[in-house]
């Protein structure tokens, strides 16, 4: 289907129009202690939310990490905060996302090498420079039926989101170019 056909279908049937469910921002430092606290500070400044720390699942002696040690921080953004954050960070990647960044369900992810490239962020030598992963989950209204705790239900094949629809939606709402 063409982009115009998708837009026409979404106007006729609003429950088929995709939406951004959540944006997950992850900074993995690889160490606990002071570097992780600096990453938490950066993530809190960028998203205005308190990050959650993630723990290592198993010990790897070669890397010097132990099971249960926190080495990463993560923030989940939803609704308007997610869209605002995406509009702030997409210019860092020149508003271009690779087609291979989209999975079979229409979700996509991209990375930012240096957080100081984001507009409005200044370099602080005490904090340093951090890279981050941004994962965007795109779905349709009604997807919660599949994941809720009570009365889970199967979602029909016609209601599942395809990568082509997701790409069209992201182009339309965020003004992103797909490479």
For 112-168, the pLDDT digits (tens) are 998 888 888 888 888 888 899 999 999 999 888 888 999 999 988 888 888 999 999
The CATH class that applies to domain 18-178 reads alpha beta
Domain residue limits, the chain: 18-178
Distances (CA, A) of 149 to 78, 140, 144, 152, 159: 20, 19, 9, 7, 20
Distances (CA, A) of 88 to 49, 64, 92, 115, 169: 16, 35, 8, 11, 18
pTM above 0.95, yes or no: no
Question: What is the rounded CA–CA span in Å between residue 176 and residue 179?
Answer: 10
For 33-84, the pLDDT digits (tens) are 888 899 999 999 899 999 999 988 888 888 777 888 888 999 999 999 999 9
With vertex at residue 5, the alpha carbon angle to CA 96 and CA 99, rounded to the nearest 5 degrees, is: 25
Answer yes or no: are the C-beta atoms of 59 and 11 closer than 8 Å: no
């Amino acid at each position: 289907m063409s982009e115009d056909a998708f837009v026409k279908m979404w106007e006729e049937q609003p429950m088929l129009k995709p939406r951004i469910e959540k944006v997950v921002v992850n900074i993995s430092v690889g160490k606990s202690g002071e570097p992780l606290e600096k990453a938490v500070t950066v993530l809190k400044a960028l998203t205005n939310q308190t990050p959650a720390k993630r723990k290592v699942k198993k010990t790897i002696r070669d890397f010097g990490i132990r099971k249960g040690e926190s080495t990463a921080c993560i923030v989940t953004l939803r609704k308007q905060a997610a869209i605002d954050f995406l509009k702030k960070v997409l210019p860092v990647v020149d508003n271009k996302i690779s087609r291979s960044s989209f999975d079979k369900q229409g979700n996509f992810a991209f990375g930012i090498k240096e957080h100081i490239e984001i507009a409005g962020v200044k370099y602080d030598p005490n904090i340093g420079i951090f890279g981050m992963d941004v994962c965007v989950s795109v779905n349709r209204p009604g997807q919660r039926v599949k994941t809720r705790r009570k009365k889970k239900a199967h979602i029909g094949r016609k209601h599942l989101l395809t990568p082509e629809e997701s790409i069209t939606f992201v182009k339309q709402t965020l003004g992103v170019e797909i490479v």
